[in-house]
Structure 1
Amino acid sequence: MWWFTQGLCFLPVFLVVWSSCTFIVSYIIALLRRDVDVLFPYISDTAATPPESCIFGLMTFVSACAGIATIYARFKYVEKLTEETRVETIVTVVHDMGALLFFVSGVLYILLQSVISYSSFPYGTSISVWRARLAVAVIASVAFFPTVICAFLVKQTDQRDLHRDTGSKDYPFHVASAVCEWIVAFSFVCFFLTYIDDFKMFTLRVRTELVS
């Protein structure tokens, strides 16, 4: 039996592969159309103009659905583990608020899952998996702060021109913020890879009951 056919481990694999392709495809299209600079564009900049914005939006929707399914599956897994082992367990302002909410909730989620993994050891998680989750969580947490702080120090550009002036005073802050943003984003994606072993061990069934 192939490992990716065991339990639900195909879910985090699909989420990671698809989400990575989402970032990379929009970046490549934006580069080919010369909409962004080759080095260190913001992820949002690579999806700011059509057609890459349309493709990014569609692929992000699929990623969001896969992410919800993965998070739900993880929740049900922890819930079942707890039962059996008794372990305790385009508007700039809108865009910025949405991005901040995404990063804050993402960091909190992977930190919480790391804590849950430590609390449930050794019933549902090996020590090596917990260490991997903790490492990813720490990287994401550390990279989150320069992402936000440096972004506030960068002058907003015209949405019609996403190229950055390398000679500007705030360019180093832009580079630091953009690099850390990519690190945080891929930390979230890579974190779901640690679910593979867990998802091999269970399946989900949906039961419908009619109430008369």
Structure 2
Amino acid sequence: MMMLTQTNLLSVAIYALAVIRGDVDPIFPYISSAADKRPESCIFAMGTNISSFLVLFMIYVRYNQMVGIINAHHDFQLAKWNYMAKCFGYLAATGMFVVANVQETAITQVHMTAAICTFGGFTIWMTFQCYLTKYYNENITHYSVYVYRVIFTILSAIFFFTSIGFGTAAAYVFHLTYPDLPTPRPWNRRIYQPGYHLHQVSAFAEWGCAISQVLFMQSFIPEFEDVFIEYRFAGRYAYLPEPPRPPTQEEIDAEDHRLAEEFRMSIGRFM
């Protein structure tokens, strides 16, 4: 979990590098805008790829942890919610992987769809986790952890819808003035761009959503300390018989001696 947090902190480093290089406006650019140009895009891709696999693994571990608890209580209704949570979590991790490898200005529709899947899917996963924590907090954690998760889930949802709403409004206002121009990517306050202030709210909300989700993940650290993960590998040919051992020199000499004796005996019979 700490490695996941450190990887997500790359976003802050990428933002600083993009501002220093003059690639984005320093006042709340989108995370993807800060990582759209090289070398920021290279660093962002590596860090986010690692994060996507770590998030996927965290979701897998959490799912199996809840499976054990649910089976012990024979509550198969909650098992369905746990499975649905896993599906949305996998959707978020997949979206993160696509965001890492498809830059904002490369294929905008793919990037934006993946970003919505990432933030939206993970917010839904957080909601399911709050629901499951409410029923089983006495087994693995404390009530205060449940409250903590609810707070950041609500914040994540508010920031998510705020980012989408104000981002859409910013593009709408811009195209009222410039209907033939594409939506600015990135936005820049140094030139006149109608809707820029709406964009700032959207970008601030995107950062808030990302930070809320990272802080939510931190709440699993105490619970995962009690999780034991065992990995076993069994190859397809693991149980095949061993190949024959090559004969030693003593065995070869003994066989030669036996064949020579048999040859002499056969010659003696003909004599």
The higher relative CO (CA closer than 8 Å, separation ≥ 6) is in 1
Structure whose CA Rg is larger: 2
Other-structure match for 2:140: 124
The correspondence for 2:4, drawn from 15, 37, 43, is 15
Matched residue type, 2:218: L
Other-structure match for 2:180: none
Q: Structure 1: how far apart are the matches of 2:191 and 2:159?
A: 22
> Residue by residue, what CA displacement relative to the aligned partner does 1:86-145 show, whole Å, maximum 9, x if unpaired?
355221211211111112101101111111111213112210111101111010011111
TM-score after normalising by structure 1: 0.86
Other-structure match for 1:81: 69
Mean Cα displacement is larger for which, 146-155 or 43-52?
Answer: 146-155
TM-score after normalising by structure 2: 0.68
How far apart are residue 167 of structure 1 and its match? Answer: 5.4
Matched residue type, 1:194: S
Q: Structure 2: how far apart are the matches of 1:208 and 1:128?
A: 40
Specify which structure has the higher proportion of helix: 2
The alignment partner of 2:27 has SS state of: coil
Q: Structure 2: how far apart are the matches of 1:182 and 1:118?
A: 28
Q: Structure 2: how far apart are the matches of 1:38 and 1:64?
A: 26
% identical aligned pairs? 25
How far apart are residue 164 of structure 1 and its match? Answer: 3.4
Other-structure match for 2:265: none
The alignment partner of 1:122 has SS state of: helix
Match runs of 1:170-185 below 5 Å:
170-185=195-210
> Residue by residue, what CA displacement relative to the aligned partner does 1:132-176 show, whole Å, maximum 9, x if unpaired?
01111010011111100111122311x4x6523575431221011
After TM superposition, where is structure 1 displaced by more than 6 Å over at least 4 residues in a row?
none
Q: Structure 2: how far apart are the matches of 1:173 and 1:165?
A: 16
Matched residue type, 2:138: P
Match runs of 1:77-116 below 5 Å:
77-87=65-75, 89=78, 90-116=106-132
Q: Structure 2: how far apart are the matches of 1:15 and 1:166?
A: 37
Q: Structure 1: how far apart are the matches of 2:2 and 2:160?
A: 24
> Residue by residue, what CA displacement relative to the aligned partner does 1:166-190 show, whole Å, maximum 9, x if unpaired?
7543122101100100011111111
Is 1:187 equivalent to 2:212 in the alignment?
yes
Other-structure match for 1:199: 224
Count, aligned residues: 198
